[in-house]
C-alpha cells in the first residue's frame, strides 16, 4: 500500500527537516523528467507522473533514512545528482515518487597525492574535483562533455566516459572504491585498494546501476599527473568513414594510446569543422598526451600510420586545439540550446552504441541510411566515433529534426523513439551494444532483453537480490 502524498512529505520532513523537502509544484514538474523530455519541458508540458517531493539529502545517514522509509512503504525513489541524464533515467515513472537529490553532498573528502587517489561525496561536480586536483598538478583523466554540470554520483551511476577515454578509460577504470546505500538502509563501503581477487568485483554492481539497485554516496577515483604542456594535437581529413575506422583500428592495434581518438563523418563534422574542412570529407582527430617522451612517440606512431593512407591530409593543429578547448557544455550552452529549440522547433538528439572493428562501419552506414529514409523532418543525421578500444569502437549518432505537426508530448514517440529503434535494431543485428555510455535509462529498455540475451538472468537476479521490493527507479534499465 502506498502512502498519500501528504504522508510521504511528512515522513520525509521528519527525516530531513522541513527545509530539505521541496514540494513546489513547478519544481516537482521539472523533477519528473530529464533531458530525454527536454522538448516537453521547454514547452511547459509535463506528461510523466509528478513526484510527491524532492528530498535534498545532506549525509549518508539521511540517504539511508529516506531509502528505509521508502522501502518500508513501497515508494519509488529516483536518485539524482547533476541532472544531466539524457535517457529518461530521472523520469518518475510511478505516481508519488520521491526524487532523492544528492547535489548537496558536495564535499571533497580527501586528495591523496601520494597514493594518487581522491575521495568525494556524490554531489561534487566533476569540474570542481578536477580543478582542485589540478592545484596539485594532477588530473582525474575523466572529461565527459558534461564535466561542468555532471556530479560524481551520477557519473558513476551511468558508467560515464570522458573524451580522453582511450588513454584513461571509462569511469569503471577510474573508480577505486565507493560507498553506497541499499534500499533497506544498509550502508556498504568498498575499500580502496589497487586490485584484489577476492571473488567477483562487486564495484560493478554499483557502477552503472543508474539508481536501480543502490544510492551512491561517495566515490574514490584514481589520479594522474596533469601534463597539458606535452599535448600534441593532430587532425586529418579523410575521404571515407571506412578508411577512418581503419586508421583508428591500426592506431589501437599497433599499441598506441592517444587520449583522444575521434572520427567525424561529414555531416557531424560540418557542425564543428566547416571553417577548415571542405564539404563531404570526414575528419580524424588525435591527441597524444602523457610524459613528453610518450606523447612524442605516440604522435609519431600515429603520423606514421596515417602516412600509409594517402587519402588522409593533415590540417593545422591549432584548429584542433581550439576546437577541443570549447567542447564542454556548461550552463551557457544549455541555455543557448533551449533558446534555439524554442525559436526554431529544431532539436538535437544523440544515440551512442558500440561494435567491434568488423561491424562498426556497417552499423554506422545502415542505421544512418534507415534514419534518413524512414524518419520525417530530419535536418541533419551523422555521427562520430570518440572512444576506441583494442577490439572496436563506439558510434555516437548525432541527429537533428524539426518537430512539426505534433504536440510537444508527441516529440518522443514521433521522432526520438523510432530513431532509437533503428539504431538499436541495426546494432543488435551486427552484434554491437545498444548503449555505449549514456546509460539505458528508460529510453532504450525496450531492447534490453535482446541486448543481454541469456545473461539477462544475472541482471534480473541483481535486481531481485538488492531491490526486492522494486522501489529503486522503476522502469530504468529493467522495463516496468
Q: Please report, as ranges, the residues that interact with ligand FAD according to CB under 6 A.
A: 34-35, 78-86, 89-90, 102, 122, 144-146, 150-151, 153-155, 157-158, 160-161, 210-211, 215-216, 329, 437-439, 473, 476
Q: How many residues does the chain have?
A: 480
CB of 161 to ligand FAD, least distance (A): 5
Pick one of other proteins, ligand FAD, none as the site partner of residue 86 (Cβ within 5 to 8 A by kind).
Answer: ligand FAD
Q: At what angle do helices 241-253 and 360-374 cross, to 10 degrees?
A: 150
CB of 82 to other proteins, least distance (A): 10
Q: How far is CA 264 from CA 280, 304, 322, 354, 370, in A?
A: 11, 21, 17, 15, 19
CB of 369 to ligand FAD, least distance (A): 26
H helix count then E strand count, the chain? 19, 18
* Stretch of 92-100, 198-206, 298-306, 335-343 contacting other proteins, by CB under 8 A: 335-343
Pick one of ligand FAD, other proteins, none as the site partner of residue 377 (Cβ within 5 to 8 A by kind).
Answer: other proteins
Q: Does 204 interact with other proteins (rule: CB under 8 A)?
A: no
Pick one of other proteins, ligand FAD, none as the site partner of residue 81 (Cβ within 5 to 8 A by kind).
Answer: ligand FAD
Contact 129, 143 (CB under 8 A): no
- Cβ closest to other proteins, residue 229 vs residue 332: 332
Residues in CB range of 213: below 8 A, 6 or more apart: 182, 205, 206, 462, 463, 466, 467, 472
Q: How far is CA 355 from CA 3, 282, 345, 392, 409, in A?
A: 45, 19, 33, 6, 33
* CA–CA gap between residue 180 and residue 208 (Å, rounded): 12
CB of 14 to ligand FAD, least distance (A): 22
- Cβ closest to ligand FAD, residue 8 vs residue 206: 206
Q: Does 433 interact with other proteins (rule: CB under 8 A)?
A: no
Pick one of ligand FAD, other proteins, none as the site partner of residue 151 (Cβ within 5 to 8 A by kind).
Answer: ligand FAD
CB of 270 to ligand FAD, least distance (A): 19
* CA–CA gap between residue 295 and residue 180 (Å, rounded): 38
Residue 23, Cβ neighbours under 10 Å: how many?
Answer: 16
β-sheet with 378-385: strand ranges across: 313-315, 232-238, 282-288, 260-264, 378-385, 392-402, 346-356
Residue 199, Cβ neighbours under 10 Å: how many?
Answer: 6
* CA–CA gap between residue 416 and residue 349 (Å, rounded): 8
Residues in 128-167 at the binding interface with other proteins, rule: CB under 8 A: 128, 131, 148-149
x-marked contacts with other proteins along 62-101 as a string, rule CB under 8 A: ---------------------x------------------
Q: Give the binding site for other proteins (CB under 8 A).
A: 26-27, 30, 83, 103-104, 106, 125, 127-128, 131, 148-149, 270, 272-276, 279, 316, 318-319, 322-323, 325-326, 330-332, 334-336, 338-340, 342-346, 372, 376-381, 400-402
Amino acid at each position: 500500500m502506498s502512502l498519500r502524498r501528504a504522508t510521504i512529505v511528512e515522513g520525509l520532513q521528519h527525516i530531513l527537516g522541513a527545509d530539505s523537502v521541496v514540494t513546489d509544484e513547478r519544481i516537482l514538474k521539472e523533477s519528473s523528467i530529464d533531458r530525454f523530455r527536454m522538448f516537453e519541458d521547454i514547452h511547459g508540458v509535463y506528461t510523466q507522473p509528478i513526484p510527491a517531493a524532492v528530498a535534498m539529502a545532506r549525509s549518508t545517514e539521511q540517504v539511508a533514512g529516506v531509502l528505509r522509509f521508502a522501502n518500508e512503504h513501497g515508494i519509488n525513489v529516483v536518485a539524482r545528482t547533476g541532472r544531466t541524464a539524457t535517457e529518461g533515467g530521472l523520469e518518475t515513472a510511478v505516481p508519488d515518487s520521491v526524487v532523492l537529490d544528492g547535489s548537496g553532498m558536495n564535499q571533497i573528502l580527501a586528495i591523496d597525492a601520494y597514493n594518487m587517489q581522491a575521495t568525494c561525496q556524490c554531489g561534487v561536480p566533476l569540474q570542481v574535483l578536477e580543478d582542485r586536483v589540478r592545484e596539485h598538478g594532477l588530473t582525474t583523466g575523466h572529461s565527459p562533455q558534461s564535466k561542468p554540470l555532471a556530479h560524481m554520483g551520477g557519473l558513476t551511476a551511468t558508467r560515464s566516459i570522458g573524451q580522453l577515454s582511450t588513454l584513461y578509460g571509462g569511469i569503471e577504470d577510474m573508480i577505486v572504491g565507493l560507498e553506497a546505500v541499499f534500499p533497506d538502509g544498509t550502508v556498504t563501503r568498498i575499500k580502496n585498494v589497487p586490485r584484489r581477487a577476492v571473488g567477483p568485483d562487486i564495484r560493478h554492481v554499483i557502477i552503472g546501476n543508474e539508481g536501480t539497485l543502490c544510492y551512491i554516496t561517495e566515490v574514490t577515483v584514481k589520479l594522474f599527473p596533469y601534463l597539458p604542456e606535452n599535448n600534441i594535437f593532430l587532425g586529418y581529413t579523410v575521404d571515407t568513414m571506412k578508411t577512418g575506422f581503419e586508421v583508428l583500428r591500426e592506431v589501437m592495434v599497433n599499441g598506441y594510446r592517444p587520449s583522444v581518438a575521434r572520427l567525424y563523418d561529414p555531416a557531424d563534422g560540418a557542425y564543428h569543422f566547416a571553417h577548415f574542412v571542405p564539404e563531404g570529407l570526414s575528419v580524424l582527430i588525435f591527441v597524444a598526451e602523457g610524459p613528453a617522451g610518450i606523447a612524442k612517440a605516440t604522435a609519431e606512431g600515429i603520423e606514421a600510420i596515417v602516412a600509409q593512407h594517402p587519402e588522409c591530409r593533415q590540417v593545422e593543429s591549432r584548429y584542433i586545439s581550439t576546437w577541443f578547448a570549447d567542447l564542454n557544455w556548461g550552463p551557457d550552452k544549455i541555455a543557448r540550446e533551449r533558446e534555439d529549440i524554442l525559436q526554431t522547433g529544431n532539436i538535437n538528439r544523440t544515440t551512442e552504441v558500440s561494435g567491434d572493428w568488423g561491424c562498426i562501419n556497417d552499423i554506422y552506414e545502415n542505421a544512418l541510411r534507415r534514419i534518413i529514409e524512414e524518419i520525417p523532418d530530419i535536418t541533419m543525421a551523422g555521427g562520430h566515433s570518440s572512444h576506441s578500444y583494442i577490439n572496436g569502437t563506439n558510434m555516437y549518432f548525432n541527429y537533428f529534426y524539426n518537430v512539426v505537426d505534433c504536440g510537444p508530448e508527441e516529440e518522443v514517440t514521433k521522432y526520438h523513439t523510432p530513431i532509437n529503434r533503428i539504431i538499436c535494431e541495426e546494432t543488435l543485428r551486427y552484434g554491437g551494444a545498444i548503449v555505449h555510455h549514456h546509460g539505458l535509462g528508460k529510453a532504450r529498455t525496450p531492447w534490453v532483453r535482446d541486448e543481454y540475451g541469456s545473461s539477462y538472468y544475472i541482471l534480473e537476479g541483481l535486481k531481485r537480490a538488492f531491490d526486492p521490493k522494486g522501489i529503486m527507479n522503476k522502469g530504468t534499465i529493467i522495463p516496468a
